[in-house]
Amino acid sequence: MVKAYCIDDSGKPENFRQSKWLKKGQEYEIIYTCLCLPQREIGCHLAELELGEQELPYTYFLLKRFAFTKENLLKLLELIKNCTETDFSLSELLEQTQLQEA
């Protein structure tokens, strides 16, 4: 997990519950990152705010809403790397899953 401070809590979507939205100046812990489309920006999951069905289609917070210490920025880079690397092949995935008939 990587500690980060919210620097931008503007633009809350209408469907977001206030309890699930960011608060500027508050510290959060990033637990996962991914590439968000169509923005092509890095998004993150936070330990403190689990987004649910009411927040759909939003499932991540964009990383640009946060600031980091130098130490935590290095940890973030490692987390991003770990979240994007896969160590399985497509054939392994197919062996471990079942296809559902339409």
Task: Report the side by side order of strands in the sheet with 41-46.
Answer: 61-62, 41-46, 27-36, 2-6, 66-67
What is the predicted pLDDT for the residue at 51? 92
**What's the pLDDT score for residue 68?**
93
Which pLDDT score is estimated for 36?
A: 84
| Residues with pLDDT less than 50, the chain | none
The per-residue pLDDT for 93 is 62
CA angle in degrees (0–180, nearest 5) for 44-48-51: 60
Q: What pTM was estimated for this model as a whole?
A: 0.79
Distance of CA 73 to the CA centre of its chain: 15
pLDDT at 101: 60
Q: Looking at residue 94, what is its pLDDT?
A: 64
Contact between 14 and 27 (Cβ < 8 Å): no
pLDDT the model gives residue 90: 64
